[in-house]
Structure 1
Amino acid sequence: MPDVLQQRAGVSVLVCDVAGPPVATTETALDLIGNASFGGAEVVALPAGRLDPSFFTLGTRFAGEVMQKFVNYRLRLVVVGDISAHLAASGALRALVAESNRHDHVWFVPDLAALDARLAASR
């Protein structure tokens, strides 16, 4: 299934297919941002499985670079899926996820139902 633009809780969301191309560089993140922007998305729901493992190792700075690209282009990034193994391995990542989820630019949610609830609550 390709990435699909959907209306979720009244918000235009690009729901990315888990089998799509991995986001392993800032260039691939920019490609995703371009596709989302072209389609009119406000939110990109990206499966955690499409993110290169370096995203979850904060010392690589990849997560910060990707997150900043989304902020710069005024798109909300939502990482969807189970990242509990990554969280168990890194206190810094746990802090980043907790802080991100307190704000509106980048969220980490377990599934699309949690995204829908979060979008509905933020309207």
Structure 2
Amino acid sequence: MEIKKHNLDGIQVAEITSEEIKIHNTEDALDLLGNLYYQGYDKMIVHEENITPAFFDLKTKLAGDILQKFTQYNMALYIIGDFSKFKSQSMIDFICESNKGSQVNFLGSIGEVFNK
């Protein structure tokens, strides 16, 4: 796993890059969040392919549990990926509702993070 450091108007943003899934469960997300917070990061970018596919099945409640941790610890999360493949109306609605706020956003590219 590599952490790329970005600066967004004076705010430290960590971009997680890896060839493998880094977030399998709530504990993985919380460990990553804590480690990055300790290193001085305020926001995190994670790519869809680094999150377990179970996250995108809302029946597992994993997305809600993980996003609750980011909200609780006040760390913004940007999830980068191609979300057009999700055909579940509940997932589409979840993404749209998340994108209305600033705490968790589902975006198509890194560039969108810096234009948000």
> TM-score, length-normalised on structure 2?
0.93
1:2 to partner: Cα distance: 0.9
Partner of 2:93: 95
1:104 to partner: Cα distance: 1.1
Q: How far, CA to CA, are the matches of 1:112 and 1:78 in structure 2?
A: 9
Partner of 1:33: 33
User: Which residue identity is paired with 2:19?
Assistant: A
Deviations 1:31-68 (A, max 9, x none): 11012101211110000111100110000000000000
What is the total number of aligned residue pairs between the two structures?
116
Do 1:3 and 1:20's aligned partners in 2 also have CA atoms closer than 8 Å? no
Do 2:3 and 2:14's aligned partners in 1 also have CA atoms closer than 8 Å? yes
1:85 to partner: Cα distance: 1.1
2:81 paired with 1:107: no
Structure 1 residue runs without a partner (length 5+): 119-123
Q: How far, CA to CA, are the matches of 2:35 and 2:19 in structure 1?
A: 16
Report the RMSD for the aligned CA atoms in angstroms.
1.4
Do 1:23 and 1:29's aligned partners in 2 also have CA atoms closer than 8 Å? yes
Between structures 1 and 2, the one with greater strand share: 2
User: Which residue identity is paired with 1:116?
Assistant: F
1:21 to partner: Cα distance: 4.5
Moved runs in structure 1, 4+ residues, more than 6 A? none
Deviations 1:47-103 (A, max 9, x none): 0111100110000000000000101111001101112212xx210011011011001
Partner of 1:85: 85
SS in 2 for 1:115: helix
